[in-house]
Amino acid sequence: MDPKKRIVVLVSGRGSNLQALIEAEKKDYFPGTIALVISDNPDAYALSRAERADIPTCVLDYSTFNSKKEYEAELLKILLGESPDLICLAGYMRIVGKKIIHHFPYRILNIHPSLLPAFPGLEAQKQAVEYGVKISGCTVHLVDEGMDSGPIVLQAACSVWDTDDSQSLADRILEYEHQLYPKAVKLFLEEKLKIVGRKVIREG
Ligand code: GRF
């Protein structure tokens, strides 16, 4: 029996964080295997990255569903069929519905390009530049029913320079994201995280 834990990754676009997880798996950095990549967007470049790494893919084209409810029902069916130990959102552009969250309580991770709770939602790097913060970064958190509001697993900080625009800041933060996400996945799969209230405590 494969002792490796099963990870399902949900994507919508470029997939550079998926790539970071693929590279980490190749190096046996965490005790898990990416069992499936699901995209809500048939044109997501992330799908090519998965195919190149021989990871099964599944496209659930959101535009072909009559409602979010129907889309989520299909997504849930697929997720349940995969029996994942962990679901990773990696540039997945939809809010995960309550039903899925309840089926996988605190088993869904997301990466967000700001130091939460600052700048949740879309265009976090643009929000940070416009606000004028001097430090930003990225956050890996467990997914709850709110918007980027679940318990924080790890954060990494970087400087915001006066010369930054949202693109240059996004590029800088992305480098930290690619380090941070595999670390969080490792801690999760090695069962080193304990959730106490809304705090995630690292054990061991
Ligand atoms: C990343 O900045 C991630 O933090 C955010 O969406 C972006 C996805 O990038 N949730 P990629 O698809 O992983 O390259």
Is residue 182's pLDDT more than 70? yes
Residue 156: both structure tokens together: 């990494």
Task: Give this prediction's pTM.
Answer: 0.97
Give me the domain span that covers residue 23. Answer: 1-104
Whole-number Å distance between alpha carbons of 42 and 39: 7
Task: List, for residues 86-112, the tens digit of each pLDDT value.
Answer: 999 999 999 999 999 999 999 999 999
**Does one domain contain both 116 and 94?**
no
Q: Are strands 135-142 and 193-196 parallel, antiparallel or unpaired?
A: unpaired
Whole-number Å distance between alpha carbons of 83 and 100: 13
CATH number of the CATH domain containing 171: 3.40.50.170
Residue 139's pLDDT band (cuts 50, 70, 90):
very high
Residue 116 has what DSSP assignment? Answer: T
**Does one domain contain both 18 and 59?**
yes
**Does one domain contain both 65 and 146?**
no
- Sign of the Cα pseudo-torsion (119, 125, 127, 128, in order): positive
**Does one domain contain both 115 and 184?**
yes
Mutation choice for ligand 1 from 111, 127, 169, 176, CB with most ligand atoms inside 8 A:
111
**Does one domain contain both 198 and 169?**
yes
Residue 190 has what DSSP assignment? Answer: T
Total domains in the fold of the chain:
2
Distance 18 CA to ligand 1 centre (A): 9
